[in-house]
Amino acid sequence: MADQPLKKVPGSTGYTSMLGGSAVTSALTAEVELRGAAAAEDLVVAEVAEPSEVGFWRLAVIRFLHHRAATVSLVILLFIVGSAIVLPVFQGELYRIQNYRNPYTQPFVFHARVIALPVGLSVTVPWSDHLLGTDDLGRDELARLVRGARVSLTVGLLAMLGYIIIGGILGALAGYYGGWIDNALMRLTDVIIAMPFILVVVAVTAAFGGVSLTVLVLVIAFLGWFEIGRLMRAQFLVLRESEFVQAARALGASDYRIIFRHIIPNSLAPIIVSATLGVSGIILLEAALGFLGYSIPPPEPSWGNLLGQYEEALQLGKTYLVAFPAIALVTTALCINLVGDGIRDALDPRQR
């Protein structure tokens, strides 16, 4: 991909990030500086001032980092993913350990705790047994939240992988070869898109006789790939007729070579953007299913089924039991969306 033409670099008009216009000028100057610096290096080495190529992906990273909201979101997201991976290792079975003596412990309640240090000293620190409180069965809410993050993120990423595989292949075939497969795909997607998606997923998962992570991922992947498929098809329709593909064909390149060496590398940008945004869509979908009681069954927590117990929690005035999963869910979705926006700006600046 390093041989992406530099014309992808925007001119002075049209390239701007959606959030924060000031990023534009700084990103541009950074690019110019970078190219200048690279050119200077070339001067020393080769003593020829050829216009040097800074790789497409490197430029993309620079542009992304200049999108402030996206960068901050990426950091938050990495923190969330990191805690979802690391914390459960330490917490072990904490998420399912019940304690009937202290249900509904309030969150953020600290007490002094003396910690003995090895040299015979001891320090007193503020300590909370259950930082985010406990639920109706006295289970630690933080542990449940973190464990739920695992479910949400796993489903989001794996189902998106499924979208890309199914949608990518079928969309590419439809766009490249056209004909009946194209027609069938388009008419079918028209209808599936209008279906109440949640209901269809509920019905299909029920047909598998019970929900597990695998079933959930497979069902979502098989029912939701249409958007990626349509996007892939549109890309193929346009690129199939483009001049560089015609040139390749004129040189006698095979279909295989044209698709994999010429069209796919050039169609990646919008797919990556759509895939990123799609992950947040899937996470929200999984939460909606959990909310309705059709995601991973309890005692395994997911953000959706934590939220699904809202009636009881609200009747007892335990708002925090609803607030924490809601905050986790919305923050994750928002960060993914902003990162997606940043990637869009970075990969294809001509799109706003």
Interface with other proteins by CB under 8 A: which residues? 14, 16, 18-21, 69, 183, 187-188, 190-191, 193-196, 198-199, 202-204, 206-207, 209, 280, 284, 287-288, 291-292, 307, 310, 314, 319, 322, 326, 329-330, 333-334, 337-338, 341, 352
Question: Quick one: 196 or 252, whose CB is closer to other proteins?
Answer: 196
| Minimum CB–partner distance for residue 245 and other proteins (Å) | 25
Question: Quick one: 272 or 333, whose CB is closer to other proteins?
Answer: 333
Alpha helices in the chain (DSSP H): 22-46, 56-65, 68-91, 141-177, 179-194, 197-207, 213-224, 226-240, 243-250, 255-257, 264-292, 303-307, 310-315, 320-347
Question: Quick one: 155 or 258, whose CB is closer to other proteins?
Answer: 155
Question: Quick one: 6 or 334, whose CB is closer to other proteins?
Answer: 334
SS3 205: helix
Question: Quick one: 262 or 344, whose CB is closer to other proteins?
Answer: 344
Sequential DSSP letters for 288-332: HHHHHT-SSPTTS--HHHHHTTHHHHHHTT-THHHHHHHHHHHHH
d(CA 22, CA 14): 14
| Minimum CB–partner distance for residue 190 and other proteins (Å) | 5
| Minimum CB–partner distance for residue 202 and other proteins (Å) | 5
The secondary structure of residue 260, as a DSSP letter, is I
Question: Quick one: 187 or 261, whose CB is closer to other proteins?
Answer: 187
Question: Quick one: 97 or 193, whose CB is closer to other proteins?
Answer: 193
d(CA 212, CA 218): 10
Question: Quick one: 134 or 189, whose CB is closer to other proteins?
Answer: 189
d(CA 84, CA 135): 20
Name the burial class of residue 38, with classes exposed (0-12), middle (13-18) and buried (19+) by CB atoms within 10 angstroms of its CB. Answer: middle
Instruction: Tell me whether the omega of the peptide bond preceding residue 270 falls within 30 degrees of 0, making it cis.
Output: no
| Minimum CB–partner distance for residue 76 and other proteins (Å) | 12
| Minimum CB–partner distance for residue 284 and other proteins (Å) | 5
d(CA 345, CA 16): 7
Question: Quick one: 272 or 287, whose CB is closer to other proteins?
Answer: 287
SS3 253: coil
| Minimum CB–partner distance for residue 58 and other proteins (Å) | 26
d(CA 21, CA 111): 47
d(CA 320, CA 305): 15
| Minimum CB–partner distance for residue 72 and other proteins (Å) | 12
| Minimum CB–partner distance for residue 318 and other proteins (Å) | 12
| Minimum CB–partner distance for residue 294 and other proteins (Å) | 9
For tokens 């800074």, the residue is: 54
Cβ pair 63, 47 in contact under 8 A: no
